[in-house]
A and B are shown apart, each in its own frame.
Chain A
């Protein structure tokens, strides 16, 4: 059929109008990723148990076997990808993982379910309270459900400590170094007897350990900046003292592993995952020589993660049921056995997977330390802006280690923090 020019133009206009309609169609609504009998879960690798997710994918989610789990491991820059998906308002999963930067999602609380509405609170008592609170936005909405926690302990090489004439028993170590000044005194003695010894790879690490033990951090709940106050300044000064006393290796990249492997750094305050990466991962030949003690300066936390349910989830209630099952004390304990994710449920600490003596730590029952610490973490309020603020500290602290005066660096940090917070409209 010959197409006349008029008809051709008419078709063109119709096509354009159709395209415009289609475009506006994508814009609204916000399609869910899942089909009616699916629950989609997005997290990074090694954050949830493969064993459990495979089970839920095959047999359906507990309580509703008609719905199957689809678990996608997101590689690369996880957060960037998640934010892009959320900003695109399309193909949103039912459950998504959040790392220890959970608070940075608080301003976007509107796009997530308040998990209390889905009945999360029925299991609240099973979880560490401070951990639970970290997933709750300042207005009381519960944004994220606890996964693993990162209670810290003092890891140390008993053989090297013995060589330095220090006690090797965890109890005695804890009694000898209850706080940072006494810890540094102990480290100085170590350094005298075993020359070259350090206790941290960098000043940034020391600062991180110190701030992980604080009961308050950078912001108050009503968005006042308190990162320029004494509690932070003291941590900053103490971290600098570590450098001044020669107890930081100023190590970068692979050197951070090397100083653990060769024994130059025979102790560190770290979370369970630290022990897995460094002593176990890069110094397997030191098996049996490590111990853990209560951390100098008090219980702290480093890392840990959460699960949240976006508003666009197709099956929010099924997602909630799945989370409760996946993160039950029993299953958290099994995840610990699988990949050493430390449970946020105290009941799990009695599980054989955690309570058994650890060969790598000379047969010590490390849960005695980690379990105690986990229940005493002061749990500072984490704000949406902590990431921005800690980046400013993180940028400047290496300069101090490189020779910049700590006073000048402190001033630069505070100026930069004010600049950043002004831009996001908090100051």
Chain B
């Protein structure tokens, strides 16, 4: 607040100097403006700043949400770091993330390319691919639950009809991960495809025409022109899906329940948080998990950011080289 005040003071002082008159005090002048934007900052304070600040305080308490809080110092964090299930939940999350993200982004690129070159019903396809993203996650998890169901699931019927054996998707540790990853892939393919499509449309037709003139075939065009020029967009989708993947919750919770199913193999970090904070009513510990998750996301964001920066430089160099080469030829 004080820095804001000083900025305001300096500004009004400057203004007073400029036109030689003294304006009314800050609050009177800016009050209406602050009141006008208040819906945002009041709501943000109530639902944003306060919970964040309170969770720091909470993470040093033992509290069931009902009785008195009890200060326990760093014990929640100590417990967290020594809990094998916490580390397992990180491993689970990363495994599911890889299993979901790789096919998801690949499929999204293929879909985007197809949409880009499609001639008819363009808008219909775009909408159709985006629908999963706006569908209720819980409803879809229930639908996927019956697709992956062990005895009566459509998927197992399909496997049986082609002579393969049944897989107990929702009770097998890896089956659970596959089911959660499939659900996540299904949901986000369309979203990423739309982003890729925007990227594809931003690539100038001149480049493609030039490639055509030089006799490049479709494959060469795709891998030598489309992919390199799309790289920043691909990296953007990688970052957003990393953040999304680390917060994976609904898919797992609805498919296999509060504790991640068999061997807790579907227990992601957020499911772990949910289970401790809201099933076992250990809100203090939940706060500590929340902050651990925050640190983890920051860590991954830094990695991604460095990756992105390097690649951008890399791209810049490549671009220059490309131009040089074309000039030389």
Interface residues of A, Cβ cutoff 8 Å to B? 9-10, 12-13, 15-17, 19-20, 23, 77, 80, 83-84, 86-87, 107-111, 419-420, 422-425
Closest Cβ of chain A: how far from B238's Cβ, in Å? 37
Closest Cβ of chain B: how far from A110's Cβ, in Å? 6
B157 on interface, CB distance cutoff 8 Å: no
Interfacial chain A residues near B281, Cβ < 8 Å: 80, 83-84, 87
When the two chains form the complex, which single residue of A83, A84, A107 contacts B68, counting CB atoms closer than 8 Å?
Answer: A107
Interfacial chain A residues near B22, Cβ < 8 Å: none
Task: Say yes or no: B75 contacts A425, CB within 8 Å.
Answer: yes
Interfacial chain A residues near B75, Cβ < 8 Å: 422-423, 425
Measured in the bound complex, the distance between the Cα atoms of B258 and A181 in whole Å is: 42
When the two chains form the complex, which single residue of B35, B36, B46, B64 contacts A83, counting CB atoms closer than 8 Å?
Answer: B64
B285 on interface, CB distance cutoff 8 Å: yes
Task: Say yes or no: A83 contacts B66, CB within 8 Å.
Answer: yes
Interfacial chain B residues near A9, Cβ < 8 Å: 32, 35-36
Other contacts beyond A110-B67, A111-B67: 8, CB < 8 A = A9-B36, A12-B36, A13-B39, A83-B65, A86-B66, A87-B64, A87-B66, A108-B66
B70 on interface, CB distance cutoff 8 Å: yes
When the two chains form the complex, which single residue of B62, B65, B67 contacts A423, counting CB atoms closer than 8 Å?
Answer: B62
Measured in the bound complex, the distance between the Cα atoms of B39 and A10 in whole Å is: 11
Known: A84-B278, A422-B79, A424-B72. A15 touches B65 (CB 8 A): no
Interfacial chain B residues near A111, Cβ < 8 Å: 66-67
B42 on interface, CB distance cutoff 8 Å: yes
Interfacial chain B residues near A19, Cβ < 8 Å: 42-43
- In the complex, residue of chain B having the shortest beta-carbon distance to the beta carbon of A89: B66
Known: A80-B279, A87-B65. A20 touches B46 (CB 8 A): yes
Measured in the bound complex, the distance between the Cα atoms of B278 and A110 in whole Å is: 21
Interfacial chain B residues near A107, Cβ < 8 Å: 64, 67-68
Measured in the bound complex, the distance between the Cα atoms of B68 and A107 in whole Å is: 7
Measured in the bound complex, the distance between the Cα atoms of B203 and A82 in whole Å is: 58
Interfacial chain A residues near B278, Cβ < 8 Å: 80, 84
Task: Say yes or no: A16 contacts B42, CB within 8 Å.
Answer: yes
Known: A87-B281, A423-B76. A23 touches B46 (CB 8 A): yes
Measured in the bound complex, the distance between the Cα atoms of B82 and A15 in whole Å is: 48
Interfacial chain B residues near A77, Cβ < 8 Å: 279
Known: A13-B35, A80-B279, A425-B71. A20 touches B66 (CB 8 A): no
Interface residues of B in 175-202 (CB under 8 A from A): none
Known: A20-B46, A424-B72. A109 touches B79 (CB 8 A): no
B38 on interface, CB distance cutoff 8 Å: yes
Task: Say yes or no: B36 contacts A110, CB within 8 Å.
Answer: no
Provide the B68-100 mask, 1 if CB < 8 A to any CB of A, else 0: 101110011011001000000000000000000
Measured in the bound complex, the distance between the Cα atoms of B64 and A107 in whole Å is: 9
Interface of B, helix, strand, loop or mixed by DSSP: helix
- In the complex, residue of chain A having the shortest beta-carbon distance to the beta carbon of B47: A23
Task: Say yes or no: A425 contacts B65, CB within 8 Å.
Answer: no
Measured in the bound complex, the distance between the Cα atoms of B133 and A310 in whole Å is: 43
Interfacial chain B residues near A17, Cβ < 8 Å: 38, 42
Task: Say yes or no: B39 contacts A12, CB within 8 Å.
Answer: yes
Task: Say yes or no: B72 contacts A423, CB within 8 Å.
Answer: yes
Task: Say yes or no: A16 contacts B39, CB within 8 Å.
Answer: yes
> Which residue among B38, B71, B285 has the maximum number of chain A CB atoms within 10 Å of its CB?
B38
- In the complex, residue of chain A having the shortest beta-carbon distance to the beta carbon of B288: A423
Interfacial chain B residues near A83, Cβ < 8 Å: 64-66, 281
Known: A422-B75, A423-B285, A425-B72. A13 touches B64 (CB 8 A): no
- In the complex, residue of chain A having the shortest beta-carbon distance to the beta carbon of B61: A425
7 pairs, CB–CB < 8 Å, chain A vs chain B: A23-B46, A108-B64, A419-B79, A422-B72, A423-B79, A425-B62, A425-B75
Interfacial chain B residues near A422, Cβ < 8 Å: 72, 75, 78-79
Interfacial chain A residues near B71, Cβ < 8 Å: 425
Known: A87-B66, A423-B62, A424-B72. A15 touches B79 (CB 8 A): no
Measured in the bound complex, the distance between the Cα atoms of B42 and A17 in whole Å is: 8
Task: Say yes or no: A425 contacts B36, CB within 8 Å.
Answer: no
Task: Say yes or no: A424 contacts B46, CB within 8 Å.
Answer: no
Closest Cβ of chain B: how far from A80's Cβ, in Å? 6
> 8 closest pairs, A vs B, by CB?
A87-B65, A108-B67, A16-B39, A425-B72, A108-B66, A107-B67, A9-B36, A423-B79
Measured in the bound complex, the distance between the Cα atoms of B282 and A87 in whole Å is: 11
Closest Cβ of chain A: how far from B301's Cβ, in Å? 29
Closest Cβ of chain A: how far from B259's Cβ, in Å? 12
Closest Cβ of chain A: how far from B36's Cβ, in Å? 4
Interfacial chain A residues near B39, Cβ < 8 Å: 12-13, 15-16
When the two chains form the complex, which single residue of B42, B64, B65, B68 contacts A20, counting CB atoms closer than 8 Å?
Answer: B42
Interfacial chain B residues near A423, Cβ < 8 Å: 62, 72, 75-76, 78-79, 285
Known: A80-B279, A83-B64, A108-B67. A16 touches B72 (CB 8 A): no
- In the complex, residue of chain B having the shortest beta-carbon distance to the beta carbon of A16: B39
Measured in the bound complex, the distance between the Cα atoms of B41 and A17 in whole Å is: 11
Closest Cβ of chain A: how far from B281's Cβ, in Å? 5
Task: Say yes or no: A13 contacts B36, CB within 8 Å.
Answer: yes
Measured in the bound complex, the distance between the Cα atoms of B82 and A111 in whole Å is: 33
Closest Cβ of chain B: how far from A138's Cβ, in Å? 14
When the two chains form the complex, which single residue of B43, B76, B279 contacts A16, counting CB atoms closer than 8 Å?
Answer: B43
- In the complex, residue of chain B having the shortest beta-carbon distance to the beta carbon of A83: B281
Task: Say yes or no: A16 contacts B66, CB within 8 Å.
Answer: no
Interface residues of B in 13-39 (CB under 8 A from A): 32, 35-36, 38-39
Interfacial chain B residues near A424, Cβ < 8 Å: 62, 70, 72
Interfacial chain A residues near B78, Cβ < 8 Å: 422-423
Interfacial chain A residues near B67, Cβ < 8 Å: 107-111
Interfacial chain A residues near B70, Cβ < 8 Å: 424-425
Measured in the bound complex, the distance between the Cα atoms of B185 and A131 in whole Å is: 55
Interfacial chain B residues near A16, Cβ < 8 Å: 38-39, 42-43
